[in-house]
Amino acid sequence: MRAGVLIIGSLLWDEGPERDVWRQTRLRIENAVHVRAPIRYGRLSQSRGNTFTMVFSSSGQLGQAVLAPCIREVSSIAALVSEAKKLWRAEQPNAPRESIGAPWGCVGVLFDPHIDRVDCVKAWADYFHRNKVSPIHPVDRDGMLRIPWPAPSTDNRTDNIDIILATATRAETEHPSPEEIASAWIKQEMGYERYFFENIQHGIRTPDDLLVWKKIENACPSWLSKPEYAETAVALRGESR
């Protein structure tokens, strides 16, 4: 099977050594495509100054994520589990080597609905149960990622992928508004706004991005003048017209 990883945040651009090595050794980043996926900002991250990071959305509204093919084909359940473990270690470098989840998140799998993979589905579910992984929405108790098969955002094709892995993270109980999301970045001065701007620069988008941007622009925090944000700010202003 040809596998890919659905990326909805900093796994794509974080320069940390673990993530950089993972991208170089496990993914064909040069062949990544933008796809439609149900994503939003919804996890309050203490490690990012109590600002919001990406989660999968249950509202049905689609944003834009990145689907990157894996370098290796997945020819067995052992190979699939190996890719899941590598993904989780990139997500949480200090995680136990055999783990694919924690109380705040887990790896889920989505099989191409047009291909019969009954044996693989059962084998993955058995592994998920055997390792007592706690499912995080939209990953179910069998370790299946319950979202629609991602459609390409442009003319690029995704029909060369048979199976998708992704990390689901636990969202806040309340759905934060665009104003709350923006305010969390506006109130901090530790550089955590980079998460928003890097996502925009790499084409990872949510339906609320422009509302968040307008709130940020109106507040005009001191960090908005950073030169590395200038090009993205111009693009967002153009979209807001």
Beta pairing partners, 45: 51
Q: In sequence order, which residues have a C-beta less than 8 Å from that of residue 115 and are 6 or more positions away?
A: 162
Share of the chain above pLDDT 70, in %: 98
Beta pairing partners, 67: 6, 33
CB atoms near residue 138 (< 10 Å) = 18
What does the buried/exposed string (b/e) look like for 214-232 if buried means 16 or more CB atoms within 10 Å of the residue's CB?
Answer: bbbeeeeeebbeeeebeeb
Tell me which residue has tokens 């991005």.
Answer: 209
pLDDT above 90: residue 78: yes
- The DSSP annotation for 18-71 comes to HHHHHHHHHB-GGG-EEEEE-EEEEEEEGGGTTEEEEEE-SS---EEEEEEEBS
Residue type, 98: E
For the full predicted model, state whether its pTM sits above 0.85. Answer: yes
Q: pLDDT tens digits for 164-180? A: 999 999 999 889 999 99
Tokens coding 75: 């020819």
Domain ranges of the chain: 3-169, 178-240
Q: pLDDT tens digits for 100-151? A: 999 999 999 999 988 888 899 999 999 999 999 999 999 999 999 999 999 9
